[in-house]
């Protein structure tokens, strides 16, 4: 089922006040428990950097720890990216991730650790091999490197009580994992013998690390945009990549051929085809078309969906409608990408500030005051009956 626009509009009346969550249109109280089998997540990989750059997050005008705010509003999963050995930033490294995991644990949330297997952004358009592995000539050698890096990282974290609840083996791996820069991507077909060896090495490392530490981290494989999910997982299964617990999908309307109905249909089919459960592990929506800095907004007017203008209440309404669709079609989670990547005086490689401040959960026009979007977690969703 889907929400009526009238029902979703009620969600748009939500706001955050200093005393807690206030939702004039919500039948449920602010303390309504979440469904125990659903992940409400947020990728908070940028928080350490933003705070080091002077960012202050507020609720009701008062400064607040963003991790605690997400936990207090019902979020139960923090997603964090990990690069191998970036030489251009000190963030999303092992030490930075460990710092973030401690904050997540202190707030009572679980962690999804996202191995990019790259020194830089790995996504649906590019998958670059880490510099330290560039001269490894064989697939077997690369698979061994993936295994040891994954196993060592997880066992180190476990030794400090920080084993993640869930692990992504790769990030938006639409293209062949750990590609080489001399490849002609536009004409190259994925070498599934090589690709499967690398995935299976990472998967085995997660399973082995769990056994070695007496834990049981779950495994996610992640593809960008729902239209790419079914073809990719069919090829992966044919190549022998079968041992995973979750299918992660990114969904950004700007870069997808599918509307919400197409996303929902894909979730239904994937859930019926594989034992793995489906999570929309990246999504975002702008609450304004304005910007706070010179860094261009990645989610501009061209990302908007009809009937969801760029306003705070419509950002919330989009999240409510998307989440109800995920729930109704068999999905088990929604993770919002970078709701805390606010504007600061720090620079990216492309400008000063943030490229995402208009799609965060914080209003830069009011000193990074928490936006109504936080209210989507506590919405009184219609849940399927438990069998």
Instruction: Tell me which residues are annotated as active site.
Output: 172, 282
Q: Do 379 and 26 touch, CB atoms closer than 8 A? A: yes
Residue 98 three-state SS: helix
Structure tokens at 141: 């050698």
Specify burial of residue 81 (Cβ count, 10 A radius: 0-12, 13-18, 19+): buried
CB neighbours of 337 closer than 8 A, spacing ≥ 6? 43, 250, 282, 283, 284
Per-residue CA distances from 384 to 124, 325, 340, 364 (Å): 32, 12, 31, 37
In the numeric block, which tokens belong to residue 172? 């938006």
d(Cα 337, Cα 264) in Å, to the nearest integer? 19
| Residue 25, token pair as written in the block | 């249109």
Angle between helices 312-328 and 260-273 (to 10 degrees): 30
Count of CB atoms within 10 A of residue 209's CB?
23
């Amino acid at each position: 089922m889907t929400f009526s626009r009238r029902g979703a509009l009620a969600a748009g009346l939500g706001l955050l006040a200093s005393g807690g969550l206030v939702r004039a249109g919500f039948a449920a109280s602010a303390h309504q428990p979440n469904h125990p089998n659903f992940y409400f997540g947020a990728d908070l990989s940028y928080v350490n950097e933003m705070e080091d750059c002077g960012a202050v997050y507020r609720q009701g005008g008062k400064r607040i720890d963003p991790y605690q705010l997400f936990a207090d509003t019902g979020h139960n999963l923090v997603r964090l990216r990990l690069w191998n050995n970036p030489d251009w930033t000190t963030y999303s490294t092992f030490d930075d991730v460990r710092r973030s995991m401690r904050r997540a644990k202190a707030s009572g949330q679980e962690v999804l650790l996202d191995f990019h297997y790259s020194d830089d952004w790995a996504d649906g358009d590019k998958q670059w091999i880490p510099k330290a592995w560039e001269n490894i000539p064989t697939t077997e050698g690369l698979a061994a490197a993936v295994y040891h890096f994954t196993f060592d990282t997880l066992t180190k974290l476990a030794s400090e009580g920080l084993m993640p609840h869930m692990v992504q083996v790769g990030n938006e791996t639409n293209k062949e994992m750990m590609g080489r820069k001399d490849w002609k991507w536009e004409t190259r077909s994925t070498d599934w013998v090589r690709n499967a060896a690398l995935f299976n090495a990472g998967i085995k490392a997660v399973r082995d690390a769990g056994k070695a530490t007496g834990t049981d981290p779950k495994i996610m494989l992640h593809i960008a945009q729902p239209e790419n999910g079914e073809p990719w997982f069919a090829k992966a299964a044919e190549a022998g990549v079968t041992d995973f617990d979750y299918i992660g999908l990114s969904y950004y309307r700007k870069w997808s051929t599918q509307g919400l109905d197409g996303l929902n249909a894909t979730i239904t089919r994937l859930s019926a085809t594989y034992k793995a459960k489906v999570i929309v592990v990246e999504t975002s929506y702008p609450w304004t078309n304005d910007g706070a800095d010179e860094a261009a907004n990645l989610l501009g007017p061209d990302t908007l969906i009809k009937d969801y203008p760029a306003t705070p209440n419509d950002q919330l309404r989009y999240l409510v409608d998307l989440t109800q669709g995920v729930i109704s079609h068999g999905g088990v989670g929604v993770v919002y990408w970078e709701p805390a990547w606010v504007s600061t005086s720090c620079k990216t490689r492309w400008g000063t500030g943030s490229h995402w401040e208009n799609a965060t959960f914080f209003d830069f026009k009011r000193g990074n005051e928490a936006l109504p979007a936080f209210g989507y977690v506590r919405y009184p969703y219609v849940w399927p009956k438990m069998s």
